[in-house]
Amino acid sequence: MTNPLLTNLLTNLKKTAKMIGEMFYGATIYEMMRELNKERAQLEHLFILIVFGDLLGVPILPPYYTLRLLPYVMPNITGWRRSMLRERDMTDLCDQDIT
Amino acid sequence: MNAVLTLLLGFAGIAVGYGIYAKSLNKTVIQPDDNKATPAKMYMDGVDFTPANRNVLFGYQFKSIAALGPIVGPIVAVRWGWLPALLWIIFGTFFIGWVQDYSSIILGVREDGQSFGALSYRFISPRARTILLTFIYFYLLLIMGAFGKIVGYDLMSNPAVPLGVFIVIGIGLLAGQMTYKWKMDIIMTSIITVVLAFIGIWLGTLDSVQNFFAAISGSPDQIVFGSVTRAHFVWSLIVLVICYFGAVLPIWRWAQPINYVAFWIVFLGILAGTIGLFIWHPAFPADFPAFTNWSGDLCAATDCSGIEKTVGAIGPLWPLLFVTIACGAVSGWHSLVSSSGTARQLEKESDALFVGGGAMFMEMFLAVLALLTAVVGVGVSKGFAGYVSLVAAGKNAGVFAVGLSEMMSHVGVPTSFGLPYGSVFLTLMALTIMYLVVRFMRVASAEFLGDKMPLFKNTTFGTLVALVLSALVIWTGFWVRIWVLFGGANQLMASLALLLVTLWLMSQGKKYMWTLLPFLFMFVTTLYALLLTAIKVFSQVLAGGLPIDKVVGNILAGAIAVYLIIAALILGWDAYKSYKKFRSEAPAEA
């Protein structure tokens, strides 16, 4: 027989510990993950630009290779175009801790 | 008054502010709808736009907004007495701080994750965007000046500090190598590097090490130019070299891992200090005034005859207190972090209050704790005169280090270790920010001038220009004026954020007084503070008798203040026109 009060207490403790763990993750490792993701995305964007530049008006590779690679890149095309064409300024960089 | 009671008062402020005021506005005015797709979901690219768990985002937001500002500001503001500082921290956060952070997130979320630059262009005027960018650039430069002076003084005045700082930087580089190159487990990496960092800080306290660094600093009467001593010159130069590496090396190689190790040094210090304060629960010392005088003149409040250097009045409580404590009560930088970072990662609209408002209230708690390091940490052990003598010697970081070490001594940390630990803590907080600032300045100059002068697109050149400008601010002028200007640029950004939110609320037909009144208050207060600062620095120059470095610094500070005033007035005029336009067009209030 388990005491429902104890079970409830343990559940809440677990939830709190999980919440604190997530907050620590957010304050420490999360930014590293974001930075790595940004680096990876930049490389991917460069690759897609080289191969599918004509989608943005920059013809670079012959269409043969473009067509061979198209099925693999298709799922990312919309996000890539939006990301490449999104207006940016210096305030976009202000997501880092400098106060 | 008891220190623990003050912390509880802070908690009460959080409970009422967050639990009643914030939740009520959230429910009645903003009315978050979790069925609406946030930009993080709509434009998910796995990079900028990525939905994140609210607890993760809370940690990210808190870490992004809480750094040196909420610690140094309250310590300086104690010059007017602890009560005005405490009241501004609590009521500033209550009525303005969380409003700005939270509403900036909501604005970003509801406007497709657009940045503040684009929103200023759209809601106010095309030139508002340019003005915002210049506010940011001056803000960055003033951060370099204010923090650079703090770090320089800290390293030169306490020879137990430099080795600890250098070792933590070295350990940070090791952490980067272990994580990214050797692919080691992050928990193991954290344990090894943090333990090594603590050993490094302890090594710095050894007599032979201290003698070595004291020899580098030399004697206080060795002058390089004007009133700049050899120690200040040399240590500032070392700091700028560290910033250079932080600004040009890949972020994973330098800035990120060092910041990671520094985070644990800072976090453990805050934890030990807070627990120590609860165990100690001291009363406020009787000689520490709740209110000194309207001008923040310490020597009018106590006998300064025994103090080597005199400390002058800072200026009238209104408006200067309200820019002296920026972070910890209201900070414009938060709005940029909220709109450009957090708003693009919010999973649900209802998370905005917990993330934006909650993190701001937590920062308020940190500011109250910093205030207590001065009032009870220093006050109980050294009295009000002790605080005055530290401030007079330019050791604002010293106030924090002494206070924190006193608090930590109640959890068994000896003061002989706690004191350098507190200094290393503060130095690291400043340094980890400074090299990111230089990075920003480099990018900003490339963006502003890169097309006309391609040389600015060169990483090394852009960084060197940023460092030369920073050195000019660090080596010249008066620290307290730089700090006030830094607060002024920051609060002008806060005004702009509140203005944007007000105009957006008007365009949506929602109630807007809760953002318009804070905007008006911050705008008028900051303008007046900048005007007073400009008058003060120019009148000091005209009066004569200042050494050359102070003359250059004052002219520079005055010019920045005048620019900020003119830019703010232009912004105010554009805002007035937009206000009239939106008022005539806005649908009826919801």
Which pLDDT tens digit goes with each residue over B405-445?
A: 999 999 999 999 999 999 999 999 999 889 888 988 888 88
| CA B71 – CA B89 distance, rounded (Å) | 12
B489-496 mean pLDDT = 93
Predicted TM-score of the model (pTM) = 0.93
B302 pLDDT exceeds 90? no
Which chain B residue has its CA at the smallest distance from A34's CA?
Answer: B47
Residues of B in contact with A28 (CB under 8 A): 59, 63, 260, 263
Domain ranges of chain B: 3-585
| CA B533 – CA B484 distance, rounded (Å) | 8
| CA B98 – CA B14 distance, rounded (Å) | 10
B66 pLDDT exceeds 60? yes
Which residue in the set B43, B57, B252 is minimally distant from A82, CB to CB?
B43
Span B250-290, pLDDT tens digits: 888 998 899 999 999 999 999 999 999 999 999 999 999 99
Partner-chain contact A27 B252, CB within 8 Å: no
pLDDT at B46: 76
Task: Output the six-digit token pair for B471.
Answer: 């050195």
B2-13 mean pLDDT = 89
pLDDT at B536: 95
pLDDT at A83: 81
Partner-chain contact B59 A99, CB within 8 Å: no
pLDDT at B205: 93
pLDDT at B51: 93
pLDDT at B586: 66
Count Cα neighbours of B66 within 13 Å in the Cβ-side half-sphere. Answer: 27
B590 pLDDT exceeds 60? no
Calculate the CA A15 to chain-centre distance. 26
Residues of B in contact with A93 (CB under 8 A): 340, 440, 443
* B464 Cβ neighbours under 8 A, 6+ residues apart: B244
Residues of A in contact with B115 (CB under 8 A): 88-89, 91-92, 94
B346-374 mean pLDDT = 94
Cβ(B536)–Cβ(B481) below 8 Å: yes
Residues of A in contact with B447 (CB under 8 A): 89-90
Partner-chain contact B59 A83, CB within 8 Å: no
Q: Please provide residue A94's backbone torsions phi and psi, each rounded to the nearest 5 degrees.
A: -80, 40
On whether any CB of chain A is under 8 Å from the CB of B50, the answer is: yes
| CA B465 – CA B554 distance, rounded (Å) | 21
Partner-chain contact A97 B437, CB within 8 Å: no
* B176 Cβ neighbours under 8 A, 6+ residues apart: B252, B253, B254, B256, B257, B258
Cβ(B319)–Cβ(B529) below 8 Å: yes
ipTM: 0.88
Q: Over the Cα atoms of chain B, what is R_g? A: 23
Q: List Cβ<8 Å contacts ≥24 apart for B266-269.
A: B266/B425, B266/B428, B266/B429, B268/B194, B269/B404, B269/B408, B269/B421, B269/B422, B269/B425
Nearest CA to CA, how far is A63 from chain B (Å)?
26
| CA B305 – CA B500 distance, rounded (Å) | 50
Partner-chain contact A26 B65, CB within 8 Å: no
Which chain A residue has its CA at the smallest distance from B440's CA?
Answer: A93
B589 pLDDT exceeds 70? no
On whether any CB of chain A is under 8 Å from the CB of B107, the answer is: no
Between positions 50 and 89 of A, the ones with CB within 8 A of B are 79, 82-83, 87-89
On whether any CB of chain B is under 8 Å from the CB of A47, the answer is: no
* CB-CB neighbours of B211 under 10 Å: 10
B310 pLDDT exceeds 80? no
Q: Is the peptide bond before B454 cis (omega within 30 degrees of 0)?
A: no
According to DSSP, residue B376 is labeled: I
Span B99-122, pLDDT tens digits: 999 999 999 999 999 888 889 999
Partner-chain contact B331 A35, CB within 8 Å: no
Partner-chain contact B337 A82, CB within 8 Å: no
pLDDT at B119: 92
Residues of A in contact with B333 (CB under 8 A): 94, 98-99
pLDDT at A51: 82
Of B432, B441, B434, B492, residue with least CA distance to B463: B441
Residues of B in contact with A27 (CB under 8 A): 59-60, 62-63, 263
DSSP letters, chain A, are: ---HHHHHHHHHHHHHHHHHHHHHHHHTHHHHHHHHHHHHHHHHHHHHHHHHGGGGT---S-HHHHHHHHHHHHHHHHHHHHHHHS---GGGG--S---
Nearest CA to CA, how far is B562 from chain A (Å)?
23
Span B181-215, pLDDT tens digits: 999 999 999 999 999 999 999 999 999 999 999 99
A54 pLDDT exceeds 90? no
Partner-chain contact A91 B55, CB within 8 Å: no
**Measured distance between the N- and C-terminal CA atoms of chain B, rounded to whole angstroms:** 44
Of B268, B265, B263, B275, residue with least CA distance to B407: B275
Which residue in the set A22, A24, A99 is minimally distant from B333, CB to CB?
A99
The helix/strand/coil state of B310 is coil
Q: Which residues on neighbouring strands pair with residue B229, listed in sequence order?
A: B223
The helix/strand/coil state of B431 is helix
* CB-CB neighbours of A7 under 10 Å: 10
Partner-chain contact B436 A97, CB within 8 Å: yes
On whether any CB of chain B is under 8 Å from the CB of A32, the answer is: yes
pLDDT bucket at B588, cuts 50 / 70 / 90: low
pLDDT at B124: 93
A89 pLDDT exceeds 80? no
Task: Output the six-digit token pair for A84.
Answer: 């490449």
Q: What is the dihedral of CA B505, B510, B514, B516, to 10 degrees?
A: 40
pLDDT bucket at B372, cuts 50 / 70 / 90: very high
Which residue in the set A25, A34, A89 is minimally distant from B59, CB to CB?
A25
Query: What is the H or E stretch that residue B225 is in?
Result: strand B223-225
Of residues B426 and B589, more confidence is placed in B426
A45 pLDDT exceeds 90? no
Q: Choose the mutation target among B336, B362, B456, B486 for the interface with A, i.e. most A CBs under 10 Å.
A: B336
What mean pLDDT, rounded, does chain A reach?
83
B163 pLDDT exceeds 70? yes
B501 pLDDT exceeds 70? yes
B475 pLDDT exceeds 60? yes
Query: What is the H or E stretch that residue B223 is in?
Result: strand B223-225
Nearest CA to CA, how far is A33 from chain B (Å)?
9
Calculate the CA B449 to chain-centre distance. 27
pLDDT at A61: 65
**Measured distance between the N- and C-terminal CA atoms of chain A, rounded to whole angstroms:** 53
pLDDT at B451: 87
Task: Output the six-digit token pair for B90.
Answer: 């609590």
Which residue in the set B67, B140, B186 is minimally distant from A29, CB to CB?
B186
Nearest CA to CA, how far is A74 from chain B (Å)?
14
Of B269, B274, B270, B321, residue with least CA distance to B82: B321
| CA B527 – CA B322 distance, rounded (Å) | 11
* CB-CB neighbours of B55 under 10 Å: 20
Q: Which residues on neighbouring strands pair with residue B128, listed in sequence order?
A: none
On whether any CB of chain B is under 8 Å from the CB of A31, the answer is: yes
Q: What is the dihedral of CA B544, B546, B552, B558, to 10 degrees?
A: -60
Nearest CA to CA, how far is B484 from chain A (Å)?
14
Cβ(B387)–Cβ(B378) below 8 Å: yes
Partner-chain contact B339 A93, CB within 8 Å: no
B559 pLDDT exceeds 90? yes
* B175 Cβ neighbours under 8 A, 6+ residues apart: B189, B190, B193, B257, B258, B260, B261
Nearest CA to CA, how far is A14 from chain B (Å)?
14
pLDDT bucket at A49, cuts 50 / 70 / 90: confident
B392 pLDDT exceeds 90? no
A97 pLDDT exceeds 60? no
A14 pLDDT exceeds 70? yes
Residues of B in contact with A35 (CB under 8 A): 251-252, 256
| CA B555 – CA B548 distance, rounded (Å) | 11
Q: Choose the mutation target among B55, B134, B138, B330 for the interface with A, i.e. most A CBs under 10 Å.
A: B55
Which residue in the set A24, A87, A88 is minimally distant from B59, CB to CB?
A24
Nearest CA to CA, how far is A95 from chain B (Å)?
4
| CA B541 – CA A36 distance, rounded (Å) | 50
Nearest CA to CA, how far is B548 from chain A (Å)?
30
Please report the sign of the dihedral spanned by the C-alpha atoms of residue B145, residue B150, residue B156, residue B161. Answer: negative
